[in-house]
Structure 1
Amino acid sequence: MSEEGQQRAQVETSVFSKLPQRMIEDLYRIGLIDGDRENGSFRPRDVSKDLSLFLPLLSTFTPRLVPAAKENCPLQFCTGILNAGFPDDQQSDTVELAFPAGGQGKTSIDAALGCLGELAERLSLCVLGESDPRLTDRDLLQPQVDFTRLLGLSRGQIARIEAAAFARSATGKSERLDLDTLPARVVTLDRLGVESRIQMPGFGVLFNEYAAFQGQNLSFASSAGCAVWASRQGARERALLELCERDAVDQAWYNRLGITFLPSEVVEASLGSDLSDFLAERSRFTRFFRVATDLNVHVVIAVSFFDRGRSASFGAAADWSTCAACFRAAKEMLQAELSLDLMEHSYQKYSGNSFNPAKLPRQLAYAREGSILADLPIEECEIATGTELATVHSYDSLLESILDRNMEIWEFNATRPDLNIPCVKLMSPDLCSWEPRFGKKRLYNNVVERGLRAKPATEAEFASRPFPF
């Protein structure tokens, strides 16, 4: 064994000696570690190289990892949950939050690593209290972000935030909300492809970081456009893919257009015969669509449902090739089905006469009351054609297509020092998002520019059709 390998093995042995036996049993059952039992305990002998990235997370938070399965499905699944404590501004102690996650893949190891990656992503976006080195005091001599523009909030949305804060305020005095001047710690953002740096309020990026307004705590943090990977560049590429996936899907959903059926031969080539046969033979209907975009990337959505479009599950993905995007969308859809099954079980008492959508997760409420056939033009879709289906894109070509349109992408290095897992969060004032961000002109104008509709829709139209997944 090389000197580097010996050092890694020593570190791993030290870490595993501190893990609870339950955690070690989880990793062994999944196949992430191999080893020997001695005197009733487990001694690791071989550790998956990919697992090394997550050792600080495992030793600090000891998440629970549980393999999951769908009957006859050739893919493997993993569900995970960890509990983490965060400072509470209102109390002297901490508040403990539970973080659920899911992963899927061709093997149980792939599924577990995906689950750990999702847990790492969520933890990375949580503030580390007052000592978080990613946050600093605002320096007014440095360029500052146009916060409302970057978030994409419309004037109407800002007004509703003001009204809601006033309704809860004890002062009885209405105030105008200026997000750019609220006292707050800031993070640093770097612009992709351009030498530029700005400061941004941390409550727009990190969870559990707030700004006070009329006695209320405001936060606009979101996990959209965030990814972890073994390298910062790898995390950056995957974060950009997610940002562009959300942009295309958001336009298609709110405008109710811009999707075409993927040809069956493309779907079969993407999924392989085992997964294709599984989807074809079950009682759920499954459909795959190409989502139109003017960027150099492939975006695919996968939708499954029962009769009349009920109990819909949804998966979306962007990737460099059509086949890669299709397979990833299928995995996300199947993971959503598992989550929906768990929610149905957990919320059984909220059914029948006691049904109240306000008490349910939005995906479950939509599954019970909504219809995907009514909300997307699935039955009227044409089949996707053209040589672009076979085109293979790259990170450089995607970024170039964004910069050529004078659109901005801002990067926050979200890597937590205690986890040391490379994490990148990307934000754009231009690209659309699943969250209702009705101040983004691209949501209204891009579909018109691409000839998909004659004139832009209105904010009222968009507000009446919230994204349910």
Structure 2
Amino acid sequence: MRIPKFKDHIHPIVVEDDKLILSSEFGQQLLTGKSLIQVARYLDGVKSVDDIIQHLDGVVDAQQVLYVLSVLKEKKYIFETKHKLSVSESAFWSSLGVEATVVQKNKEQARVRIYTYGTAESSNFIRQMNAGGLPVVGEAENLAVILTDDYLQDGVLEKARELWYQNIPFLICKPNGIEIWLGPIFRPGKTACFDCLIQRLIANRDVEVYLKETGKINTPLVAASSLPSTIDTSLSTALTELLKFIVLGHNEQLENKMVTIHYGTLETNKHVVVRRPQCRVCGTPDTDRIPENIQFQSSPKSFIDGGHRSVTAEETYNRFKHLISPITGIVNKLERITNGDDVLQHVFISGQNMAIKTNNLQSLRKNLRSNSCGKGVTEIQAKVSAIGEAIERYSGVYRGDEPRHLTSFKALGDKAIHPNDCMLFSKKQIADMELWNARESFFNVVPLPLDENALIEWSPLWSVTRNEVVYLPAAYCYYSHPDNGGEHFFCAPDSNGCAAGNTLEEAVLQGFMELIERDSVAIWWYNKLKMPELDLESFNDDYALKLKAYHKSRNRDMWVLDLTGDSGIPAFIAISARNDRTTCQDIVFAPAAHLDPSIALRRALTELNQMMPSMDESLPPGQYRYDDPETVHWWQTANLENQPYLSPDTRRPKSTADSFAVPRFTDIKNDLEYCVEVVKKMGLDMHILDQTRPDIGLHVVKVVVPGLRHFWARYAGGRIYDVPVKMGWLPAPLNESELNPISIFI
């Protein structure tokens, strides 16, 4: 260092003969020492080291001068003044720890090219670049900027891919709108690519997707809310971030992130962009892979959180909270819908249900009003539950990078599972398909019979009971699969058996419990069985008793029925009805199942909490905050007199916490081994589809046990007729025409 000087962002102030304060925007530092003060007086950017030594001859020894300079340099307080930058620019970069000479060199080596799309213009940006001493080129660029009025604008994706394949880093910016978008900066081979971002953007723009697919629009709906000042400020900010990338060689604020600035509120948010290992541009998709032999691993039960968990809810939340974003997330919001002061009912919604395909106005309307939802005994449990459901739904949507095999049912032979062995529509339902589908019920759509010779895509599942790979139609395993439309509509995918977990074992257990829950509900509901009440006091659960009292305070009675059947796994349904009127009793219900009856009870009660926000007491009787026609019709017409099976069977003793002979284990692995044996004893098979997405990391599975029944209207022969007789609940099976005519609507 020939001519040293305090860095331009530092103000040196001598306060005493042996004390020096270095002041900057970031605070102050006190340095002490008489020799330090003497040297500091000559650090003016004019005098060389030799000059300083000469001026201090006889005052400070030369070696001491060199020592002081070395200490100041090591602490990055001084720098070499030989550069062409202005004082303010030098101060900016020195505050970031960059020498002015490095700034000059990196700026001179940058060759930036600008691309514009839509209504975006480059003139202001070029002017600002020229003022900042940054060259703009028309070819042979080593860095690019894409300015666009919308990230989905025509041509942007193609240019982004071209730059990626040419190994050219680039920054993208949307300077228009009251909320501007800045970034990410894409670095080929090091960050997520633009395709990774686009996949998330499209997933969060349901209305535009619908409008484009139906031909209502051809281009994106561009944000028009801008001022000349907001455009200039946006471009200036973009240029600053570009310069930081050029000078520093990286930009942690915009690599794998984008920033939004809302000029109406000055709110600034960061949105994480996740690199997708399965991406066709920057990843390595493997659509031919076959599921491995699933061997359940040890997963000790460390916490009880709506089920047995291996980590706390807080840990899970911190691990996945980066997925919350209306732009780049799969959880586009996390919003409490119960009163914040309510210590019993914690319910959160986590954005639109991504499992609902918006290919018509009805499904669009359903999607806009349907949200992934989470509940829990505590607020953090409810948040994690909502995030988990959003991830579960997202993971079940077909995207084209899933393992699949093109063949026919007959060609697969005994390794193929017929979709109706899982759906269980009766021959009469299929014959009356037009009548069923004319109801336009979202829950009870009857598909066409499968053409067993047709070439369709099949998803591989691992059969735990058969110890081999089996196949189900991909259109049954994933929402929005292209095989499942028009004349090829041969199955109705649903979320039954789908679950998320911190480990594969957690997810499989939760998925199987859902199958038991819904099978138990179907047997009870469609046979209109009177079932025993659960003795809540026997559980020694203050939460259950407090919740019952809460319902009482709202002129409601709450009780829980025991639906446990031949599996022996505790299955309950919580029910709440108004007690201040005999008609329009606003009856809500929520089921749950679990090996631990205490957990099954908690899950049913918290699920019931999820239903309660629709019951707005400020509205007149018969009006609600939810407008699904089937649900509203039930609330308006059902009462305990015309639906007597909802009331407990008072002829039978109440079930208590000790009524269930289910073994207790300390490891989820042992729970699963027990469940597999239960399935075998019922004469059924258990298959597992791993839907875990590499870009998410939370385990998601779909557990399939053909023969266990969804609680929607599925009337084929089997357990719905056989179990009531087997358990002694009915003397003989009902006929299909005798089943409950009301289809379940949740």
* Structure-1-length-normalised TM-score: 0.77
Structure 1 position 313, deviation (Å):
0.9
- Deviation (angstroms), 1:50: 1.0
Alignment of 1:19-168 (within 5 A): 48-55=314-321, 57-58=323-324, 59-61=328-330, 63-70=332-339, 72-82=342-352, 98=368, 100-128=371-399, 131-138=400-407, 140=411, 143-161=415-433
Alignment correspondent of 1:361:
629
CA contact (8 A) 1:188 1:198 kept: yes
Quote how far apart the aligned CAs of 1:467 are: 1.8
Q: Is the 8 A contact 1:151 1:437 kept in 2?
A: yes
Q: Secondary structure at the match of 1:374?
A: coil
What letter is aligned with 1:451?
Answer: G
Q: How does 1:172-187 map to 2 (within 5 A)?
A: 177-187=449-459
Partner of 2:461: 189
Structure 2 match to 1:462:
739
Matched residue type, 2:586: S
Offset from partner CA, 1:123-154 (integer Å, 9 cap, x none): 111111xx322333227356222232232121
- For 1:399, which of 670, 676, 679 is the aligned residue? 676
Number of equivalences: 420
Q: For residues 364 and 48 of structure 1, what CA distance do their matches in structure 2 show?
A: 36
Deviation at 1:97, TM superposition (A): 5.2
- Distance in 2, matches of 1:83 and 1:337, equals 19
8 A Cα contact 1:149 1:439, kept in partner = no
Matches of 2:316 and 2:686, distance apart in 1:
29
Pick from 273, 276, 287 the counterpart of residue 559 of structure 2. Answer: 287
Structure 1 runs not aligned, ≥5 long: 1-11, 26-38, 167-175, 352-358
Give the letter aligned to residue 237 of structure 1: L
Structure exhibiting the larger radius of gyration computed from Cα positions? 2
Structure-2 residue corresponding to 1:247: 519
Identity %: 19
Higher relative contact order (CA 8 A, sep 6+): 1
Residues 360 and 214 of structure 1, relative CA distance in 2, 3 Å threshold: closer
How much has 1:48 moved relative to structure 2?
4.6
Pair 1:201 & 2:473 matched: yes
1:250-265 alignment runs, 5 A limit: 250-257=522-529, 259-265=531-537
Structure 2 CA distance for partners of 1:304 and 1:385, relative to 1, 3 Å:
closer
**One of 313, 319, 323 as aligned partner of 2:594:** 319
Secondary structure class of the residue paired with 2:405: coil
The correspondence of residues 381-392 of structure 1 with structure 2, limited to 5 A, is 381=650, 382-385=652-655, 387-389=658-660, 391-392=662-663
Q: Secondary structure at the match of 1:211?
A: coil
| Cα contact 2:536–2:544 (8 A) shared by 1 | no
Shift of the 368–134 alpha-carbon distance from structure 1 to 2, 3 Å rule, reads: farther
Q: 2:689 aligns with which of 409, 412, 415?
A: 412
Match for residue 331 of structure 1? 606
Greater CA drift, 420-429 or 272-281: 272-281
Please give the per-residue CA displacement for 1:281-331, whole angstroms capped at 9, x wherever unaligned.
331111111113111311111000113372111111111222211111111
What residue number does 1:449 align with?
Answer: 726
Cα offset for 1:235? 0.3
SS in 1 for 2:688: strand
CA distance in 2, matches of 1:76, 1:85: 24
Counterpart of 1:28 in structure 2 is none
CA contact (8 A) 2:597 2:660 kept: yes
Q: How far did 1:384 drift? A: 2.2
| Gap regions ≥5 residues in structure 2 | 1-251, 272-312, 439-447, 665-670
Gap change, CA 1:148 and 1:365, over 3 Å in 2 = same
The match for 2:582 among 283, 300, 308 is 308
Q: CA deviation at 1:390?
A: 7.0
Q: Which residue of the other structure, out of 698, 701, 711, is the alignment partner of 1:424?
A: 701
Instruction: Return the alpha-carbon distance in structure 2 between the equivalents of residues 258 and 272 of structure 1.
Output: 22
Flag the 1:375–1:323 CA change in 2: closer, same or farther, 3 A. Answer: same
Over 3 Å counting, the alpha-carbon distance change for 1:213 and 1:364 in structure 2 is: closer
Match of 1:434 among 711, 721, 735: 711
Deviations 1:139-190 (A, max 9, x none): 7356222232232121112223378899xxxxxxxxx833433432111122
Contact kept, 8 Å, 1:226 with 1:425, in 2: the verdict is: yes
Asked if the contact 2:356–2:479 (Cα under 8 Å) also holds between the matched residues in 1, the reply is no
Contact 1:302 1:329 in 2 (8 A): yes
**Is the 1:147–1:179 contact (alpha carbons within 8 Å) kept by the matching residues of 2?**
no
- Cα deviations across residues 255-298 of structure 1 (Å, max 9, x unaligned)? 11152111141355263554343234331111111113111311
Secondary structure at the aligned position of 2:575 is classed as strand
Structure number with the higher helix fraction is 1
Cα distance in 1 for residues equivalent to 2:419 and 2:354: 29
* The one of 643, 647, 651 aligned to 1:375: 643
Tell me how far apart the structure 1 counterparts of residues 359 and 529 of structure 2 sit (CA, whole Å). 45
Please say if residues 376 and 606 of structure 2, whose CA atoms lie closer than 8 Å, have aligned partners that are also in contact: yes
Q: 1:163 to 1:294 in 2, by over 3 A?
A: closer
Corresponding residue SS for 1:109:
helix
SS in 2 for 1:104: strand
Where 1:444 maps in the other structure, the secondary structure is helix
Aligned residue for 1:260, secondary structure, equals: coil
Q: Provide the rounded CA distance (Å) in 1 between the counterparts of 2:365 and 2:639.
A: 38
